Amino acid sequence: MSTSALVLFSGGQDSTTCLAWALARFDRVETVGFDYGQRHRAELEARPGLLAALRKLPNGDRLGDDHLLPLDTLKAIGGSALTDDMAIDMGADGLPTSFVPGRNLMFLTAAAALGYRREIADLVGGMCETDYSGYPDCRADTIQAMVSALSLGLARDIRIHTPLMWLDKAATWALAEELGGAELVKVIMADTVTCYEGNRTYAHDWGLGCGACPACELRAAGYVKYRTR
């Protein structure tokens, strides 16, 4: 029986690594991205180029349709540094202002609904508890609860794979190398955008970004640790 998966693919380092992980395991892999009104479009704009690059790597022929869904309810709700013009610092709730409440819950719900129509019950996402910024919707417990809720609500056995859940950023680079060798590392380096500012101007040895925001600092530190293992 042929297997298929739907990857939550934002165009960042983590979701690109997850996509390579899925391509190595499933016969057919589709991708979904979400336009939630994020201030910086760099990640979304990087998606088509990344998909084209991955198609040329091993297992690239397994890559199927790409979907882009609007979830601008999150922008309408606002109040986050990722949707509104505000600084990234610690909020009164003890979480970074980059936290978008409910984002991963909505992403997973929309992905599962799309998967229902596409007859795909295996979802793959880059949620990670190791290096996470304290976002409660990245926790393994949250994901497990979503598996239960979606399986009940859709009357299907939904599976959510989170290959990065217990990896740090250095291990995520190492996983990319293990999956796709130097070629995949090069694609991730050159084409993925992790930066909270959506900055693609400066080329660092770890890729593109402002070099100063928390996401860039995490990516840079992870890359140094990966290179010096």
**Cβ proximity of 38 and 82 under 8 Å:** yes
Least distance in angstroms from the C-beta of 53 to Zn ion: 22
Binding of residue 88 to Zn ion (CB under 5 A): no
Number of amino acids touching Zn ion (CB under 5 A): 6
**Cβ proximity of 9 and 47 under 8 Å:** yes
Binding of residue 33 to Zn ion (CB under 5 A): no
Q: For residue 1, count CB atoms less than 10 angstroms from its CB and return exposed for 0-12, middle for 13-18, buried for 19 or more.
A: exposed
Binding of residue 218 to Zn ion (CB under 5 A): no
Least distance in angstroms from the C-beta of 12 to Zn ion: 12
Binding of residue 82 to Zn ion (CB under 5 A): no
Binding of residue 216 to Zn ion (CB under 5 A): yes
Characterize the bridge pairing of strands 207-208 and 203-204. antiparallel
Binding of residue 209 to Zn ion (CB under 5 A): yes
CA atoms of 26 and 62, how far apart (whole Å): 8
Per CB under 5 A, the list member of 7, 8, 63, 195 interacting with Zn ion is 195
Helices (H), the chain: 13-25, 42-55, 73-77, 103-118, 140-154, 169-191, 214-227
Binding of residue 54 to Zn ion (CB under 5 A): no
Question: Residue 150: which of 162, 159, 141 has the closest Cα?
Answer: 159
Least distance in angstroms from the C-beta of 196 to Zn ion: 5
x-marked contacts with Zn ion along 152-191 as a string, rule CB under 5 A? ----------------------------------------
Q: Residues interacting with Zn ion, by CB under 5 A? A: 195, 197, 209-210, 213, 216
